[in-house]
Structure 1
Amino acid sequence: MFTTLTALVVGAVFFSALLRGIAGFGFALAAVPILSLVLPPLQAVTLAVLMQVIVGVHDIFSMHSNVHKPTLMRLCLGSLLGTPIGIFALAALSPDAARILIAAAVLGGLALLLRYKPTEPRPRHGLALFAGVASGAFSGLAAMPGPPAVAFYLGSGISAVQTRASLFLFFFVTALIATPGLIIAGGVSAQILALTVISIPALALGTKVGTEVFNRLDGDQYRQVAIGVMGLSAVIAGWRGLSGYI
């Protein structure tokens, strides 16, 4: 039976997949706040993570030739190292305080990206590892692994095609890392699994439409879109953090 809950979930997945298809990231950013309107936060995050795992399996085969492998490997390794750091730091900070700090860091990084635009590819492998550690720490602190990885690629001068493909697979890896913890926490239920299966067509369609939009963008336009999505993530994180103190 196609209920209001199902319709909202399917709509949220389509919109989030569309954003992800264009930018290479932003699925959870868009999906979790919408899904949280009708699902408990844990289940909303779980559904978003499961959808990213599913689409990531497809990305491995369709995107692997475009991935910038040296930086992606360092980002993933750094994320594995950084996630425990973020979880440990969370013991000293509340989730709301962590979101405010992350929002401030993202806005500061965006200010630098707006002033600095590389004229040629200069991926620094040491910086990629550091960005991975920061992504893991952000994930452990507030389930937001994206900003450091996105900022790294936007500042590296790597092409939009390679950036998008590398981000696709990076978020697939971070979703895999998050899945066992969500299962242990009780986020996976029969209802969530059913909603996940029902939403797969919307996930595929949104990704397809987003990819078609991406193919129409040049490098500068992609950069503007990516910076805009990053700015949106900072605003949402900051708002969620501040709302905990109001």
Structure 2
Amino acid sequence: MLAGIISLAVFAAAVLRGLTGFGFALAAVPAMSFVVSPARAVAIAILLQCLVGLRDLVTMRALIDRRALALMSAGALLGTPVGIVALTRLSPDAMRMVLSAIVVVGLLALLARVRLPAGRGPAIGAGLLSGIFSGLAAMPGPPAIAYFLGRAVPAANIRASLMVFFFLTSLMALPGLYLAGRLDTETGLLALTAFPALLAGTWAGGRAFLRLGEGGYRTAAIALLALTALATGLKGLAAFL
């Protein structure tokens, strides 16, 4: 029963991932946190992104922005341990509030069409913030999305670069999660069980991306992220009332 619910949440989030190149953890972690602790949901999401990332790296290597990814990865390497420390210090309900806040940040970045100037500083800075978000909640998305959407490149290149970047940040988070005791047998089995759902959802989202083209995916992403932020925030807030 638990594995089925996790797989359903992963499939729905993977459709968003395949459609936009981002949003998997933003949708999957809050959804999974309804049936498992937020910390375990984070660990499952990171394991899944590591598993699928190897395939993305091979299939999308011609589309990725290698220079931007290198600079952002350097920043993320510094920020990830900070996020992991925060993950070990917060209660589950506080984590839900943090998750909701991060999703809202992502929404605001999309709605405001935040633009960051090209260059080494913004890339490293976006990577640093992404690393903090990744270690805390498996959600490196908002800063990375703001950076890539602010550059005049085709949607296909943005999508590919984001998917590979999230793979790299997930790899960086694994050692810290292991040292923090967040990786155990049950977590690994839940991730493996949900992996087919991740592949199926990513494929379905990719087909939708081809149909929608350059701009149509934005509306779908905003709608799902808004629902995720609302549901997760209300559950976390209820514990403090």
Alignment TM class, shorter chain as reference: 0.7 to 0.9
What is the one-letter code of the residue matched to 1:10?
A: S
SS of aligned partner of 2:216: helix
* Cα distance change on mapping 1:40 and 1:112 into 2, 3 Å: closer
SS of aligned partner of 2:212: coil
Partner residue, 1:132? 127
* 1:201 maps onto 2:196 in alignment: yes
* 1:58 maps onto 2:55 in alignment: yes
Aligned counterparts of 1:89 and 1:44: Cα–Cα separation in 2: 15
Normalization by structure 2: what TM-score?
0.81
List gaps (5 residues or longer) in structure 1: none
What is the one-letter code of the residue matched to 2:206?
A: T
Q: More deviation in 147-156 or 93-102?
A: 93-102
What is the CA RMSD across the aligned residues, in angstroms?
3.2
Partner residue, 1:31? 28
Residue number among 15, 18, 35 corresponding to 2:15 in the alignment: 18
Q: Size of the alignment, in residue pairs?
A: 238
- State the 1:198 CA deviation: 2.4
Aligned counterparts of 1:204 and 1:99: Cα–Cα separation in 2: 24
The question of whether the paired residues in 1 share the 8 Å contact of 2:106 and 2:142 is answered with yes
Partner residue, 1:216? 211
List gaps (5 residues or longer) in structure 2: none
Question: After superposition, where does 1:14-163 map in structure 2 within 5 Å?
Answer: 14-84=11-81, 86=83, 102=102, 105-106=105-106, 108-113=108-113, 123-140=118-135, 142-163=137-158
* Cα distance change on mapping 1:11 and 1:21 into 2, 3 Å: same
* Cα distance change on mapping 1:214 and 1:108 into 2, 3 Å: closer
Aligned counterparts of 2:8 and 2:100: Cα–Cα separation in 1: 29
Whose radius of gyration is greater, 1 or 2?
A: 1
What is the one-letter code of the residue matched to 2:34?
A: L
* Cα distance change on mapping 1:237 and 1:130 into 2, 3 Å: farther
SS of aligned partner of 1:39: coil
SS of aligned partner of 1:165: helix
* Cα distance change on mapping 1:11 and 1:92 into 2, 3 Å: closer
Q: More deviation in 70-79 or 188-197?
A: 188-197
Aligned counterparts of 1:220 and 1:185: Cα–Cα separation in 2: 40
Aligned counterparts of 1:90 and 1:43: Cα–Cα separation in 2: 11
Normalization by structure 1: what TM-score?
0.80
